[in-house]
Structure 1
Amino acid sequence: MKLPAIHSLPLTLTDQLGRRVVVPYPPQRIVSLVPSQTELLFDLGIGARVVGVTKFCIHPSEARQQAAVVGGTKNFDFEKIAALQPDLILGNKEENYQEGIEQLAEQYPVWLSDISTLEEALRMIRQVGILTATQIKAEALEQGIAESFATLGPVTLPISAAYFIWRKPFMVAASGTFIDDMLRRTGFINAFAEQSRYPEISLAQLAQAAPQVIFLSSEPYPFKEKHIAEFTEVCSSATIRIVDGELFSWYGSRLRYSAAYFRELHQNLLSS
């Protein structure tokens, strides 16, 4: 598409929920309500234009120092956001809450991502590049990530896996999630693929599923080595690993590192 010149007419784009969003082009005061998209903005070289982030925007480390913290991903501080006078707000259907997003959208341009596959993540990166006049960097990033995943290649012997994201209650990533797509691309069969999104499961259900591998994610629940024992009691034959949750679930520029991590993880499991 042909983009307007700098400081020309506003840019109109459709977000990943099919909403038409009119944005001053290029936006100069951006609030990001999604940690992985905050990191993307900084990696696109426009961190100086990011004026607001959430308390969970931990990458890069300077994000919460130079930008105002406007609450969490599920509870926005509307007064702080108003004081920042944003000309673009970036959110996500799953990570943010509908009521808060709708309230913001009454006053500001709000562009929402909706991501459950690698393809949707790459499309988001490309579209954010268009939104922020950083399309050359965004396209290079998108291409690099796509090429890194292409090197994973087909897997002849998939391994069944359960991926835990929470404890008390136990919750797993099932079908229809970005994590599920990452598992499949890495050579794993989701042991809870017959369920959707993030179901609560019992240890009895885990025993019945009998996965070959149990992944305990470092986020959102911070699983540690001390938690391995309770899963070993239920699935004594399973291999249990603490894994980097950011590399499985962050769908922005951090994906640059995911394919190499997945390859090493898969190889280590096959050799163990």
Structure 2
Amino acid sequence: MTSAPMGQLIDAAGREHRPAEGPVRIVSLVPSLTELLCDLGLTGQLVGRTGFCVHPREALRAVPKVGGTKDVKLDAVRALAPTHLIVNIDENRRETVEELAASVPVVVVTHPCAPQDNLALCELFGGLFRCSGEALRLQAALRGALDEARALRAELPAEDVLYLIWREPWMTVARDTYISACLAEVGWRTVPASAAARYPEVDWRAAEIRGAAGVLLSSEPYRFTARHLPEVEALGGRPAQLIDGEMCSWYGSRAVAGLRYLAALRRRLAVRGLNSPEV
């Protein structure tokens, strides 16, 4: 996402929006952005969410669920009579969004591809939902986290790492994903360097994989645990480390904590080695 011209509110589909007027009823089909809406002070305007929208947990208990990110219950959304629908290009099905667009007045399409894209996202939501003060505070925190990550990147030499998201088949992330962009902010380059798919299968025999400094095992979407570490180390011939997947893949307001988590993890592993038992 890129910043819109001053005063314009343009989403990832290129659609221009106007600041909301009157009562606002939001249905969010994106877990990361549900969290962002709450952090912007909009919990009271949130009338629907997916079952994967779990943060902040207590604040969302009373907000009705409308299915998953891919299997949205269309009638449940319509019954909530939302004024605004929040969707994401990667996380929601296009046909679902198109069907709901016929009955929801405002559909906001998002597609952050790197941590800095969250600055424009905050600007869009802040202007659209008239909460610019909260958005500016989040932007300032994000700029600080980006500065900290880049300082670390300048301090430590870059390292190649394999980031696992699935087992049987073993799968990783391409460099054009948000996850890879987050890791790059602290100097971790994901392998392979190029791939035809965004989430390619792992060839454990490939020179890039064997030459990586280590393997990072994510907690989502597959929930890797400590019992998987010996198996992965045997396959890859490299040390393996568990990593919090939410801190790498959730955008919106989570990017602030995510970048600081990654910077702290990289600094610790630079001292203790990639196979440190701590996460």
Q: What is the TM-score normalised by the length of structure 2?
A: 0.88
Amino acid at match of 2:219: S
Q: Residues 164 and 173 of structure 2 are in contact (CA less than 8 Å); yes or no, is this contact kept in structure 1?
A: yes
Amino acid at match of 1:68: P
Instruction: Please list every run of 5 or more consecutive structure 1 residues that lacks an aligned counterpart in the other structure.
Output: 4-11
Amino acid at match of 1:241: Q
1:110 aligns with 2:107: yes
In structure 2, what is the Cα distance between the partners aligned to 1:155 and 1:111?
39
In structure 2, what is the Cα distance between the partners aligned to 1:130 and 1:206?
48
Compare 29-38 and 164-173 and name the one that shifted more: 164-173
Q: What is the TM-score normalised by the length of structure 1?
A: 0.90
- Counterpart of 2:189 in structure 1 is 189
3-state SS of 1:38 partner: helix
Between structures 1 and 2, the one with greater strand share = 1
Compare 202-211 and 36-45 and name the one that shifted more: 202-211
1:93 aligns with 2:89: yes
Mapping of residues 57-76 of structure 1, within 5 Å: 57-76=53-72
In structure 2, what is the Cα distance between the partners aligned to 1:208 and 1:114?
29
3-state SS of 1:58 partner: coil
Amino acid at match of 2:133: I
Superposition deviation, residue 184 in structure 1: 0.9
- Counterpart of 1:14 in structure 2 is 10
3-state SS of 2:76 partner: helix
Count of aligned pairs: 263
Moved >6 Å (runs of 4+):
none
- Counterpart of 1:269 in structure 2 is 269
In structure 1, what is the Cα distance between the partners aligned to 2:138 and 2:20?
24
Aligned Cα RMSD in Å? 2.0
- Counterpart of 2:277 in structure 1 is none
What do residues 49-71 of structure 1 show as CA deviations (whole Å, max 9, x unaligned)? Answer: 10000000110113542111000
- Counterpart of 2:202 in structure 1 is 201
In structure 2, what is the Cα distance between the partners aligned to 1:70 and 1:23?
25
3-state SS of 1:62 partner: helix
Q: Residues 26 and 131 of structure 1 are in contact (CA less than 8 Å); yes or no, is this contact kept in structure 2?
A: no
Amino acid at match of 1:158: A
- Counterpart of 2:117 in structure 1 is 120
Mapping of residues 38-49 of structure 1, within 5 Å: 38-49=34-45
Q: Residues 165 and 220 of structure 1 are in contact (CA less than 8 Å); yes or no, is this contact kept in structure 2?
A: yes
Q: Residues 175 and 193 of structure 2 are in contact (CA less than 8 Å); yes or no, is this contact kept in structure 1?
A: yes
Amino acid at match of 2:229: I
- Counterpart of 1:142 in structure 2 is 139
- Counterpart of 1:219 in structure 2 is 220
Percent identity at matched positions?
33
Superposition deviation, residue 13 in structure 1: 3.6
